[in-house]
Amino acid sequence: MSSTLRFTVVGEAFKKKPVEVPTPVERPSEYFGKYVFDRKKMYKYLPAPVYEKMIDVIDNGAALDMATADAVAEGMKRWAVELGVTHITHWFQPLTEGTAEKHDGFVEHDGKGGMVEEFTGKQLVQQEPDASSFPSGGIRSTFEARGYSAWDPASPVFVLGDTLMIPTVFISYTGEALDYKAPLKKALHAVNKAATDVARYFYPDVKKVISNLGWEQEYFLVDESLYSARPDLLMTGRTLMGHDSAKNQQMDDHYFGAIPERVVAFMRDLEIQALELGIPCKTRHNEVAPNQFELAPIFEETNLAVDHNMLMMSTMKRVARKHGFRCLLHEKPFAGVNGSGKHNNWSLATDTGILLHAPGKTPLDNLRFVTFIVETLMAVYRHNGLLKASIVSATNAHRLGANEAPPAIISSFLGKQLNDLLDHLTNTTDDQISLAGKQEMHLDIPQIPELLIDNTDRNRTSPFAFTGNRFEFRAVGSEANCASAMIALNAAVAEALIDFKKRVDERRLTPDSSRDSLFNAILSVLREDIRTCRPILFDGNGYSDEWKVEAKKRGLDTEASVPLVIDRYLDDASVKMFARTNVFTRAELNARNEIKWETYTKKIQIEARIFGDLCMNHIIPVAICYQSQLIDNVHKLKEILPSEQADKLSATNMHLIEEISLHSSFITENVGRLIEARRVANRISDEREKAIAYHDTVAPLMEQIRYHVDKLELIVDDELWPLPKYRELLFIR
């Protein structure tokens, strides 16, 4: 881009006016789910017996027969055609980013030379996308068996534009998961089973336990014209160079501040569209960094919440463009200001409406509360390295361990009251339990004030914080599919609960009759577990260097290199846990790790390529151009002035000329080394080793070179500088 173009682009960006968003005539409660084939629509469009059958399939996981599938497809088609739908697609979550889809028209020959709209149960239930180029980590070689997608009836189909979208799992012909949804459903099944068994100790009528997820999506908006003028943003989602803006977030004036008009228009439009798609949006606000915002819906069942997050991310990108913005979901689009995360608020609840991670009113409720808290902590303790592996990526790495974000060590914050309660429990003995009458239980658990719910003081540095009635897994990246974290967490908690139950049952004296014996057994296992998982509890400052030392002493995983953190999936403890919970086989874990390493490499590789191009084609030429102007000026001074005076007056210029030379030669030389480092890494065939090479040799070089580019930005004439600067990118007018 030429310098005049930069100014035109910036000028245009600042002239933009908000896009008019028509106010719907209906209220949100009326248009919520307008484009979703939800229960209300099922009731309307399906024959009564088919409706009953579908509810059984959705609520109880009953098997779906072809006749029902055909009838459901027929009802869906009637509804969809009324909305102008012409195509269907299976919508799935491959191991790349985002979602994938392949559209088929509704039309079929009618046998009389014309066409009819046709949509059968078979098309609804299964599709074989030509998916040979989706990553499979070697499970499904291109010439071998194909992968297929299969309908997930637990997530309702919806309409997007002219297409009926069918949420599906994506698996290989031999049954291995090639996506996020299939293992997520298995993990949710495992935690349901394990948690139901334990919940029944307290409430015998519980039939099922639901995992809840409420995500908080952070994002940046930049003006589309400025975005287009930054090849690095365009290709990698982040700026690879750019000096700090004089003003960024130091005044904290953006956080919870008034939202700019253009952004409000975008948010309103986005919320209306999200609500129509059945996503229960609730909260919106400015975030800490300039141009950074957050959006959060009301929590939902985890499988549905994950689908809704995926749909939300694509909707955000789409709606942003309509408003002349680009929505950046990258974890760290700009250096020097906060990055974006996606807090995963997670809890378990029974079908009878009990939030298992919330304290209750009776001693029985509170014993249940402590049980689920402690066993969650046991899972996090045992698998802290794995949980970290579930959230790392090339992009999230810029955020973890940096000063504004969760550290690269998983620990849990409970707050003083809950800590005291756990201490108290470990100090009591069994005979402090007694039963008076049949139902009344006396348990030496101090009354937990309901205030606890609002009183969990907010330790912002904890990656896994208890926040009153749930845990908040804060290390998840803004761009990530939440399923990755939710698979690891729910499966690990399932395993902890299975172990817990096994030990409780062994310790009960009379398994069927005495509640005293049951509660004593529960307490004794809990005491043991509280002691075991203590190292995971940390209420201090997670950003401090002392914590890194201390965490290492406690045996927590402190590795920060992404390719090495990914190894944790293949630890014996992880492989065993995933096998016991039936979530992943070792073969699947191996294959998925290959993909993770490969993805890591590709991300850094693309960054390094575009970075090298920018340096050599954008930065160095303007630096030289400006340097020549300075040299020219020195010559001219010498022409018109006596030499002593000329020397004096050109001293500053001479200094700048020298500076530019130093920075430019550093950049040129090291871009050469960067290319060489890539060449060396590319020759490595082992995916893990290659990723390590990219991490150790390629990524650090970019950081070093960037420093010099950013210095040049401060020296070179603003009119020549080819890329929109941070101060232009970060402030929407």
Cβ distance to Mg ion smaller for residue 374 or 465: 465
Chain position carrying tokens 């057994």: 521
| Structural element, H or E, at residue 326 | strand 325-328
Please write down the long-range contacts of 538-546, taking CB distance under 8 Å and 24 or more positions apart.
538/411, 538/412, 538/413, 538/462, 539/413, 539/414, 539/415, 539/416, 539/419, 539/459, 539/462, 541/461, 542/406, 542/407, 542/409, 542/411, 542/459, 542/461, 542/462, 542/463, 543/403, 543/407, 543/461
| Structural element, H or E, at residue 49 | helix 48-60
Asked if 239 and 11 touch (Cβ cutoff 8 Å), the reply is no
Minimum distance from residue 215 beta carbon to ligand ADP (Å): 7
Minimum distance from residue 382 beta carbon to ligand ADP (Å): 22
Our measurement of the distance from residue 576's CA atom to the centroid of its chain's CA atoms, rounded to an integer in Å, reads 25
Residue 283 binds which entry of ligand ADP, Mg ion, none, with Cβ cut-offs from 5 to 8 Å by kind?
Answer: ligand ADP
Q: Convert residues 571-610 into a mask of x (bound to ligand ADP by CB under 6 A) and - (unbound).
A: ----------------------------------------
Residue 133: Cβ-neighbour burial (10 angstroms; 0-12, 13-18, 19+): exposed
Bridge partners, residue 126, by sequence: 150
Residue 192 binds which entry of ligand ADP, Mg ion, none, with Cβ cut-offs from 5 to 8 Å by kind?
Answer: none
Scan residues 260-299 and list those touching ligand ADP (CB under 6 A).
283, 296-299
Scan residues 78-97 and list those touching ligand ADP (CB under 6 A).
none
Cβ distance to ligand ADP smaller for residue 99 or 469: 469
Minimum distance from residue 108 beta carbon to ligand ADP (Å): 43
Cβ distance to ligand ADP smaller for residue 157 or 274: 274
Scan residues 204-233 and list those touching ligand ADP (CB under 6 A).
212, 214, 216
Cβ distance to ligand ADP smaller for residue 14 or 255: 255
The reply to whether 470 sits near Mg ion by the rule CB under 5 A is: no
Minimum distance from residue 289 beta carbon to ligand ADP (Å): 16
Residue 355 binds which entry of Mg ion, ligand ADP, none, with Cβ cut-offs from 5 to 8 Å by kind?
Answer: ligand ADP
Minimum distance from residue 342 beta carbon to ligand ADP (Å): 11
Minimum distance from residue 405 beta carbon to ligand ADP (Å): 15
Asked if 372 and 425 touch (Cβ cutoff 8 Å), the reply is no
From the list 13-21, 74-82, 341-349, 692-700, the region that binds ligand ADP by CB under 6 A is: 341-349
Cβ distance to ligand ADP smaller for residue 18 or 360: 360
Scan residues 469-488 and list those touching ligand ADP (CB under 6 A).
469-470
Cβ distance to ligand ADP smaller for residue 149 or 344: 344
Asked if 69 and 125 touch (Cβ cutoff 8 Å), the reply is yes
Rounded Cα distance between 290 and 340, Å, is: 12
Rounded Cα distance between 453 and 469, Å, is: 6
Rounded Cα distance between 304 and 213, Å, is: 9
Residue 478 binds which entry of Mg ion, ligand ADP, none, with Cβ cut-offs from 5 to 8 Å by kind?
Answer: none
Identify residue 574 by its one-letter amino acid code.
S
Residue 682: Cβ-neighbour burial (10 angstroms; 0-12, 13-18, 19+): middle
Residue 548 binds which entry of Mg ion, ligand ADP, none, with Cβ cut-offs from 5 to 8 Å by kind?
Answer: none
Backbone angles phi, psi at 136, to 5 degrees: -130, 0
Q: Give the count of residues interacting with Mg ion (CB under 5 A).
A: 1
Minimum distance from residue 352 beta carbon to ligand ADP (Å): 15
CA distances from 34 to 26, 82, 160, 277, 394 (A): 11, 12, 11, 7, 38
Cβ distance to Mg ion smaller for residue 245 or 340: 340
Asked if 651 and 643 touch (Cβ cutoff 8 Å), the reply is no
Cβ distance to ligand ADP smaller for residue 147 or 214: 214
Cβ distance to ligand ADP smaller for residue 456 or 670: 456
Q: Convert residues 641-660 into a mask of x (bound to ligand ADP by CB under 6 A) and - (unbound).
A: --------------------
Cβ distance to Mg ion smaller for residue 343 or 568: 343
Minimum distance from residue 349 beta carbon to ligand ADP (Å): 7
Residue 212 binds which entry of ligand ADP, Mg ion, none, with Cβ cut-offs from 5 to 8 Å by kind?
Answer: ligand ADP
Scan residues 321-360 and list those touching Mg ion (CB under 5 A).
343
Minimum distance from residue 545 beta carbon to ligand ADP (Å): 27
Asked if 147 and 178 touch (Cβ cutoff 8 Å), the reply is yes
Nearest to 317 by CA among 255, 283, 273: 273
Minimum distance from residue 536 beta carbon to ligand ADP (Å): 20
Cβ distance to ligand ADP smaller for residue 280 or 336: 280
Minimum distance from residue 293 beta carbon to ligand ADP (Å): 13
Q: Which two tokens stand for residue 43?
A: 């009731």
Cβ distance to Mg ion smaller for residue 343 or 388: 343
Rounded Cα distance between 431 and 71, Å, is: 60
Minimum distance from residue 216 beta carbon to Mg ion (Å): 5
Backbone angles phi, psi at 702, to 5 degrees: -60, -40
CA distances from 701 to 37, 620, 706 (A): 51, 17, 8
Residue 441 binds which entry of Mg ion, ligand ADP, none, with Cβ cut-offs from 5 to 8 Å by kind?
Answer: none
Rounded Cα distance between 490 and 185, Å, is: 10
Bridge partners, residue 685, by sequence: none
- Determine the residue with CB nearest ligand ADP: 214
Scan residues 343-382 and list those touching ligand ADP (CB under 6 A).
345-347, 355
Cβ distance to ligand ADP smaller for residue 214 or 385: 214
By CB under 5 A, name the binding residues for Mg ion.
343
By CB under 6 A, name the binding residues for ligand ADP.
212, 214, 216, 283, 296-299, 345-347, 355, 469-470
